[in-house]
């Protein structure tokens, strides 16, 4: 029988929460840089439902259901920052005032434990299996960006990508896409892309790591397209293509006064991928940032006609349902006459096209 490997996490002991430190490198916030523990608390209050946890502790007392995971050398909390932040806030009325958090009642003794259960590890890497299991695929999942940063740092510290994939419970290709997306995002940030200047409040990271798996995108950025399952190097975009990278990130997320051209991943990302495979369409998009117009250069013309015809029929039916509200205005009657002539011309042109097609088919048959 195979032996279970010894856990790098030490046995439980207890520590006064005032001796613990919040993690300035908290992987829950991959796109943030913290200079102080106060900044970590501010972030967790805004993004991690700390107030909900505070109310639970206030009403039910501190439940020591699992230990906080600490770095052995300095008592930095690797796992449990949200719980430590809640305890800090409960114990500090001035901090509550600064955060504008009001309690229903004053905390009782069972909500302010003098010691809490902890486990110490010698390094961040030693705790990765535990943290990855709980947060990346457990009940408190991180978003894709946090997951990508965590996997990329693990890989850069010498982790094997297949092993990382197994430990995180994801397929190999999924983890490779996340890691590659993180690498390209960081290169774009170093090349002038600004996360504070995007046109959406959220940051849909999946646009980037999904796009990077498409051959047209990889060719546009100068990435190899022969093996999309391989992990990219650091700063993988060639210097000559950094301008394309900046433009591509702007298309995905917007930048300053340039709104994103991707409104939703489906269908807009697929449209962008197709546009990048057509030089005329790509140049048009670069010139006017109109994705629909650029896509019109590559979309099947017969499909375009079908869509336009169906839309026209729908609009005419909508107008017909409202015709009882027509008040006899002469300008609207003129518009109706123009519509009638246009429809007749359209029908005649379609009939001629049909006859030409049928004649060609007869000729081919003979």
CA distances from 73 to 18, 84, 131, 170 (A): 16, 18, 19, 32
**DSSP, residue by residue, 257-294:** TB--S-SSIIIIIHHHHHHHT-HHHHHHHHHH--HHHH
**Choice between 134 and 168, residue whose per-residue pLDDT is larger:** 168
Tell me the three state secondary structure of residue 176. Answer: helix
User: Quick check: 324 pLDDT over 80?
Assistant: yes
Q: Write down the pLDDT at residue 5.
A: 37
Most confident residue range from 43-52, 98-107, 249-258: 249-258
Percent of the chain with pLDDT over 70: 90
Residue of 189, 177, 273 whose CA lies nearest to 235: 189
pLDDT category, 281, cuts 50, 70, 90? very high
The per-residue pLDDT for range 6-50, each reduced to its tens digit, is 444 455 789 999 999 999 988 777 778 899 999 999 999 988 888
Query: What is the C-alpha to C-alpha distance for residues 351 and 347, in angstroms, rounded to an integer?
Result: 6
Residue 125 has what DSSP assignment?
Answer: G
Residue 178 in contact with residue 151, Cβ under 8 Å? Answer: yes
Please give the structure tokens belonging to residue 158.
């010498």
Residue 140 has what DSSP assignment?
Answer: S
Tell me the three state secondary structure of residue 25. Answer: coil
CA dihedral 36, 38, 41, 46 (to 10 degrees): -100
Percent of the chain with pLDDT over 90: 48
The per-residue pLDDT for range 102-132, each reduced to its tens digit, is 888 889 888 999 999 999 989 888 887 667 6
pTM for the full predicted model: 0.58
């Amino acid at each position: 029988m195979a032996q279970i490997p010894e856990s790098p996490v030490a046995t439980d002991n207890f520590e006064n929460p005032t001796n613990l430190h919040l993690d300035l490198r908290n992987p829950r916030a991959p796109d943030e840089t913290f200079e102080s523990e106060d900044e970590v608390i501010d972030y967790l209050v805004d993004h991690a439902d700390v107030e909900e946890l505070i109310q639970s502790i206030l009403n039910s007392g501190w439940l020591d259901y699992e230990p906080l995971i600490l770095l052995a050398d300095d008592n930095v909390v690797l796992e449990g920052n949200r719980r430590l932040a809640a305890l800090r806030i409960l114990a500090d009325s001035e901090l509550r005032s600064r955060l504008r958090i009001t309690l229903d009642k004053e905390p009782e003794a069972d909500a302010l434990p003098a010691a809490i259960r902890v486990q110490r590890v010698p390094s961040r890497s030693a705790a990765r299996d535990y943290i990855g299991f709980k947060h990346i695929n457990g009940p408190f999942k991180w978003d894709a960006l946090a997951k990508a940063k965590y996997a990329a740092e693990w890989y850069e510290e010498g982790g094997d990508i297949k092993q990382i994939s197994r430990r995180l419970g994801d397929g190999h290709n999924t983890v490779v896409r996340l890691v590659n997306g993180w690498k390209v995002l960081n290169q774009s940030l170093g090349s002038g892309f600004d996360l504070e200047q995007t046109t959406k409040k959220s940051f849909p990271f999946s646009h980037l790591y999904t796009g990077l798996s498409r051959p047209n995108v990889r060719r546009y950025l100068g990435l190899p397209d022969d093996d999309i399952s391989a992990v990219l190097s650091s700063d993988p975009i060639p210097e000559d293509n950094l301008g394309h990278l900046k433009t591509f990130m702007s298309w995905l997320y917007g930048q300053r006064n340039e709104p994103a051209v991707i409104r939703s991943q489906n269908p807009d990302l697929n449209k962008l991928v197709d546009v990048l495979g057509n030089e005329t369409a790509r140049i048009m998009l670069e010139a006017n940032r109109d994705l629909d117009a650029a896509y019109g250069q590559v979309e099947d013309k017969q499909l375009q006609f079908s869509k336009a015809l169906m839309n026209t029929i729908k609009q005419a039916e909508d107008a017909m349902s409202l015709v009882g509200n027509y008040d006899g205005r002469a300008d609207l009657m003129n518009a109706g006459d123009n519509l009638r002539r246009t429809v007749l011309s359209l029908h005649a042109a379609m009939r001629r096209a049909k006859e030409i097609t049928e004649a060609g088919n007869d000729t081919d048959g003979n």
